[in-house]
Amino acid sequence: MEIRKVKGNTFCIDTGMTYIPFYKINNEDIIMMDSGWAGGEREEIDELLEKNNFKVAGIICSHAHIDHIGNVAYFKKKYNCIIAMSAYEALICSSTTNLKVYYSSQTLSYVTEHFGHMVCKTDIMIWDNQDSINVCGIEFKILHTPGHSPAHICITTPDDVGYVGDALISYKVMKGAKMPYAFILKEDLRSKEKLYNLKCSKYVVAHKGMYSDITNLITDNIDFYKNRAAKVYDAIDGAMTMEEIMKTVIKKWNISVKSRYKYAIIERMLRSYVEYLNDTGRIKLIMEDGFLKYIK
């Protein structure tokens, strides 16, 4: 794990898996953009910050996924830092009961045990009509890019560095991803289009890229997700239930599903592609023999 300079006072922590950008207010105080994953990254991020004598003054969250907000509550407790997040996602992770909106197929006790550490208190709610926020006296620009998650945002630092979070994935991730996640794929693709108008001098993609120009990356991301949707379309033969589509996709794409957790993730991932095909009129949802089935 190391710190890399992006531009001016904007740096990022390279966790190996993720870039976590931060903005240096002065030699000591920093504002992080996301906080990393608790499971595999907390200890090392913590150590790295301490080694550099950094204190977390604020955290602006791109979205409330486990690998992005995993350490928010931890740092809030340690540094009493200001937390800013889009209002809807802030409400989702304000309690385990609300978190169940994300993990609807899991029981409340499972959610509490595995995702309870995501519960945090947000100080600054970012509303849909806001295109900037002030955290610790520093102004950041906000671009609303819903789709990957319900209220995902991109954050631009005063150095004109655009952090696009998970609104885009890098080429390396595209190479390895069988089914990249979107909460609502149709919205996500619209948000990706929006990014053509985000003019910054540098861009940081959470998993994991740094670019001076993202025009081609946006086009390639859009093509990649659409191509995955086309592959799901190819897997649909006759009238199939969601579970039957899932069974076919798991087998065809050689996806290993060995835990309840993985099953739930794959199901959520697949659902957004199936819904996208339904949303765009390529498949229909019908009722057959008392079951909901998808048909071309």
Q: Is 89 in the site for Zn ion (CB under 5 A)?
A: no
Give ∠ CA 144-149-153 in degrees, rounded to 5: 25
Q: How far is the CB of 230 from Zn ion (least distance, A)?
A: 23
Q: How far is the CB of 263 from Zn ion (least distance, A)?
A: 19
149 or 156: CB nearest Zn ion: 149
Binding segment for Zn ion (CB under 5 A), chosen from 123-131, 159-167, 219-227, 241-249, is 159-167
Q: How far is the CB of 148 from Zn ion (least distance, A)?
A: 6
Interaction residues for Zn ion, span 98-117 (CB under 5 A): none
Tell me if 149 sits within 8 A of 89, measured CB to CB. yes
Q: Is 65 in the site for Zn ion (CB under 5 A)?
A: yes
Q: Is 166 in the site for Zn ion (CB under 5 A)?
A: yes
Binding segment for Zn ion (CB under 5 A), chosen from 20-28, 165-173, 208-216, 262-270, is 165-173
Return the H-helix or E-strand segment holding 258.
Answer: none
Q: What amino acid is encoded at 87 in this protein?
A: A
89 or 166: CB nearest Zn ion: 166
Residues 165 and 152: their CA atoms lie apart, in Å, by 8
Q: Is 187 in the site for Zn ion (CB under 5 A)?
A: no
Q: What amino acid is encoded at 132 in this protein?
A: S
Tell me if 195 sits within 8 A of 214, measured CB to CB. yes
Give the nearest residue (CB) to Zn ion.
65
Exposed, middle or buried, 181 (CB in 10 Å: 0-12/13-18/19+)? Answer: middle
Tell me if 245 sits within 8 A of 236, measured CB to CB. yes
Q: Is 202 in the site for Zn ion (CB under 5 A)?
A: no
Residue 282, number of CB atoms within 10 A of its CB: 15
Q: Is 228 in the site for Zn ion (CB under 5 A)?
A: no
Give the residues lining the site for Zn ion (CB under 5 A). 65, 166
